[in-house]
Structures are given as C-alpha cells and as structure tokens.
C-alpha cells in the first residue's frame, strides 16, 4: 500500500489513499518455495482483505499498522507471509531453513514456530 501511495507526488497522496481505501478489495503476495520431501514447489501467501479496519488504516495514513491487523484477522481470511511460512513448516511441507530464508521477520517466525509446535494438553501438537 505504501509503495502505491509513494509512487504519486506528495500533493496527490491523500487523494490516492482515499481512493485505495474505497476501492481496494484485497492484496495477495506469493512466494514459490521448494518442497521439503518431494520435487516441486509450494506457494506461501500473504493475504490482506479490505476489511473496514484495513480501509480505515489506509485512509488515515497508518499503513505501518496493517501487518498487525493482518496478524489478528485470521477470522477474516487474512494471514501474513510469516504465518503462511509457519504453517507450511509445521505441516512438514517446507524446511526450517527455507522458512527462515524467506521470512520477513525471522526472529518472530522462529517464536511462532516454537509456539505452534509446543505440546498442548494431552501431549498433542497445537
């Protein structure tokens, strides 16, 4: 979102933010990653849908808060790239090394992986 807005002259950026907040439906970012145990590749995806909260952040020039909103909006179908990498790793589809290489925030991803693979009640992995 910031890259789109920043591509316009400063005098037009407020109008561009308003137009984006009204017209944007979703943004998908994809990375093709090598599979861990078989030939081929798998897609990791960051998904942001234009919820009312996301639209408001765009309109109010608070794009720096969008990642936090995506992280907490799984119920709306959103996920960050690092959340996608975590899920692919936990399911055994990609290696830890690939997940770390492609992470936007490797330290945070490592914490998410540790939390996701901790035994829960009854010894089951969450």
CATH number of residue 99's parent domain: 3.40.50.300
This prediction has a pTM of 0.84
Which has more pLDDT, 71 or 120? 71
In a domain, 124, yes or no: no
**pLDDT digit string (tens) for 2-48?**
999 999 999 999 999 999 999 999 999 999 999 998 999 999 999 99
In a domain, 101, yes or no: yes
14 inside domain = yes
Residue 37 counted as domain residue: yes
Q: For residues 110 and 57, what is the distance between their CA atoms, to the nearest angstrom?
A: 28
Q: Which residues constitute the domain of residue 27? A: 2-116
Residue 53 falls inside a structural domain: yes
pLDDT (tens digit per residue) in 91-125: 999 999 999 999 999 999 999 999 987 655 544 44
Q: Is residue 36 in some structural domain?
A: yes
Number of separate domains in the chain = 1
- Residue 123 domain-assigned? no
């Amino acid at each position: 979102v910031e890259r789109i807005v920043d591509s316009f002259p400063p005098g037009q950026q407020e109008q561009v933010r308003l137009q984006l907040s009204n017209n944007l439906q979703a943004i998908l970012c994809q990375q093709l990653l090598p599979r861990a145990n078989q030939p081929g590749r798998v897609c990791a995806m960051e998904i942001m849908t234009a919820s009312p909260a996301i639209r408001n952040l765009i309109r109010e020039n608070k794009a720096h808060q969008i990642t936090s909103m995506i992280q907490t909006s799984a119920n709306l179908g959103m996920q960050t790239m690092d959340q996608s990498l975590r899920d692919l790793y936990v399911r055994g589809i990609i290696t830890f090394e690939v997940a770390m290489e492609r992470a936007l925030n490797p330290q945070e991803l490592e914490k998410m992986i540790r939390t996701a693979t901790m035994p829960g009640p009854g010894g089951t992995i969450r």
